[in-house]
Structure 1
Amino acid sequence: MTDILWTAIFVQMMMGAFDTFYHHEGTERLAWRPSQHMELRLHGVRNLAYAVMFAMLGWSEPQGLWAAGLIALMAGELLITLWDFVEEDRTRHLPGTERVTHTLLTLNYGVILALLIPWLFEGASAPTALKPAFHGPMSWLCAIAAIGVIISGLRDLAAAARCKRLVDTEAASLAAVLTARKSVLVTGGTGFVGRRLVDALVSAGHEVIVLTRNRKAAQGALGPVRIVTSLDEISDDARIDAVVNLAGEPISDSPWTRDKRIRIVRSRLDVTREVLRLIARLDRKPEVLVSGSAIGWYGLRGDQPLTESNLGTPCFSRRICVSWERAAKRAEAMGVRTVLLRTGLVLDRHGGMLARLLAPFEFGLGGRFGDGRHWMSWIHRDDLVRLIAHAIAEPGLSGPVNGTAPGPVTNRHFVRALGKVLHRPALVPIPGWPLRLVLGGFAEELLLSGQRVYPDAAMRSGFVFHYATIEEALCKIVGNDPAPHGVAARSANHRQLAGV
Structure 2
Amino acid sequence: MTSLLWTLIAIQVVMGVFDTFYHHELTERLAWRPSQRYELQLHALRNMLYALLFLVLGWLEVHGVFAMLIIVVLVAEIVITLMDFVEEDMSRKLPASERINHTLLAINYGAILVLLLPVLIGWAAQPTGVKSAYTGWLSLIAAAAAVGAALCGLRDFTASKRLSRMTSAPTASLVEKLPDRQTVLVTGATGFIGSRLVAGLSGAGHQVIALVRSPAKIEMLPPPITLITSLDQLPADTRIDAIVNLAGEPIGNGLWTEAKRRKILDSRINMTGDIVRLIARLERKPAVLVSGSAIGWYGLWQDQVLTESAKSHACFSHELCDAWEKAARPAEEHGVRVVYLRIGLVIGTDGGFITRMLTPFEFGLGGPLGSGRQWMSWIERDDLIRLIAHVIARQEISGPVNATAPIPVTNLNFTEELGRRLRRPAVFRISGGLLRRVGGDFANELLLGGQRVLPNKALSNGFVFRHETLRSAFEAIL
Q: Could you say whether these structures have the same fold, taking a TM-score greater than 0.5 normalized by the shorter chain as the test?
A: yes
1:382 aligns with 382
1:27 aligns with 27
Q: Secondary structure at the match of 1:192?
A: coil
Residue identity in the other structure for 2:442: F
2:433 aligns with 433
Which stretch of the first structure deviates more once superposed, 444-453 or 280-289?
Answer: 280-289
2: distance between equivalents of 1:324 and 1:185? 18
Question: Deviations for 1:192-216, whole angstroms, at most 9, x for unmatched residues?
Answer: 1111111111111111112232245
2:457 aligns with 457
1:355 aligns with 355
Measured after TM superposition, the shift of residue 245 of structure 1 is: 1.1
Q: Is the 8 A contact 1:329 1:338 kept in 2?
A: yes
Which 4+ residue blocks in structure 1 deviate beyond 6 angstroms? Answer: none
Residue identity in the other structure for 1:45: L
2:198 aligns with 198
2:322 aligns with 322
Residue identity in the other structure for 2:184: V
- Where structure 2 has 5 or more consecutive residues not aligned to the other structure, the ranges are none
Q: Secondary structure at the match of 2:210?
A: strand
Alignment of structure 1 residues 12-161 onto 2, 5 Å: 12-62=12-62, 67-124=67-124, 125=126, 128-131=129-132, 133-136=134-137, 138-161=138-161
Residue identity in the other structure for 1:385: I
1: distance between equivalents of 2:425 and 2:55? 31
1: distance between equivalents of 2:199 and 2:98? 27
1:496 aligns with none
2: distance between equivalents of 1:77 and 1:130? 24
1: distance between equivalents of 2:142 and 2:426? 31
Alignment of structure 1 residues 250-329 onto 2, 5 Å: 250-329=250-329
Which stretch of the first structure deviates more once superposed, 185-194 or 225-234?
Answer: 225-234
Measured after TM superposition, the shift of residue 467 of structure 1 is: 0.9
2: distance between equivalents of 1:68 and 1:429? 53
2: distance between equivalents of 1:151 and 1:97? 24
1:483 aligns with none
Q: Secondary structure at the match of 2:427?
A: coil
1:394 aligns with 394
Alignment of structure 1 residues 171-190 onto 2, 5 Å: 171-190=171-190
Which stretch of the first structure deviates more once superposed, 26-35 or 16-25?
Answer: 26-35
Calculate percent identity across the aligned residue pairs. 54
Q: Is the 8 A contact 1:59 1:135 kept in 2?
A: no
2: distance between equivalents of 1:78 and 1:276? 54
Q: Is the 8 A contact 1:58 1:135 kept in 2?
A: no
1: distance between equivalents of 2:278 and 2:83? 50
1:410 aligns with 410
Q: Secondary structure at the match of 1:342?
A: strand
2: distance between equivalents of 1:69 and 1:128? 12
Q: Is the 8 A contact 2:190 2:220 kept in 1?
A: no
1:364 aligns with 364
2: distance between equivalents of 1:129 and 1:284? 81
1: distance between equivalents of 2:416 and 2:262? 36
CA distance 1:157–1:219, shift in 2 (3 Å): closer
CA distance 1:79–1:334, shift in 2 (3 Å): closer
- Where structure 1 has 5 or more consecutive residues not aligned to the other structure, the ranges are 479-500
1: distance between equivalents of 2:239 and 2:45? 54
Measured after TM superposition, the shift of residue 341 of structure 1 is: 0.5
1:373 aligns with 373
Residue identity in the other structure for 1:129: V
Residue identity in the other structure for 1:392: I
CA distance 1:62–1:314, shift in 2 (3 Å): same
Alignment of structure 1 residues 334-345 onto 2, 5 Å: 334-345=334-345
Residue identity in the other structure for 1:14: V
Using the size of structure 2 for normalisation, the TM-score is: 0.94
CA distance 1:228–1:89, shift in 2 (3 Å): closer
Measured after TM superposition, the shift of residue 228 of structure 1 is: 2.1
Q: Is the 8 A contact 2:198 2:221 kept in 1?
A: no
Residue identity in the other structure for 1:259: A
CA distance 1:71–1:234, shift in 2 (3 Å): closer
2: distance between equivalents of 1:440 and 1:58? 50
2: distance between equivalents of 1:311 and 1:20? 47
CA distance 1:6–1:220, shift in 2 (3 Å): same
CA distance 1:41–1:130, shift in 2 (3 Å): farther
Residue identity in the other structure for 1:102: H
Measured after TM superposition, the shift of residue 107 of structure 1 is: 2.1
Which stretch of the first structure deviates more once superposed, 155-164 or 341-350?
Answer: 155-164
CA distance 1:86–1:328, shift in 2 (3 Å): closer
1:494 aligns with none
Question: Deviations for 1:270-327, whole angstroms, at most 9, x for unmatched residues?
Answer: 1111111111222222111111110011111012111111111111101101111112
CA distance 1:214–1:88, shift in 2 (3 Å): closer
Question: Deviations for 1:327-366, whole angstroms, at most 9, x for unmatched residues?
Answer: 2122222221111100011110000111222222222222
CA distance 1:302–1:130, shift in 2 (3 Å): farther
CA distance 1:83–1:189, shift in 2 (3 Å): closer
2: distance between equivalents of 1:122 and 1:208? 63
Question: Deviations for 1:95-146, whole angstroms, at most 9, x for unmatched residues?
Answer: 333333222222212222222233344445267334151332x444333322
Using the size of structure 1 for normalisation, the TM-score is: 0.90
1:490 aligns with none
Q: Secondary structure at the match of 1:353?
A: coil
Q: Secondary structure at the match of 2:71?
A: helix
Q: Secondary structure at the match of 2:44?
A: helix
Size of the alignment, in residue pairs? Answer: 477
C-alpha RMSD of the superposition: 2.0
Which stretch of the first structure deviates more once superposed, 25-34 or 60-69?
Answer: 60-69
1:481 aligns with none
1: distance between equivalents of 2:73 and 2:91? 26
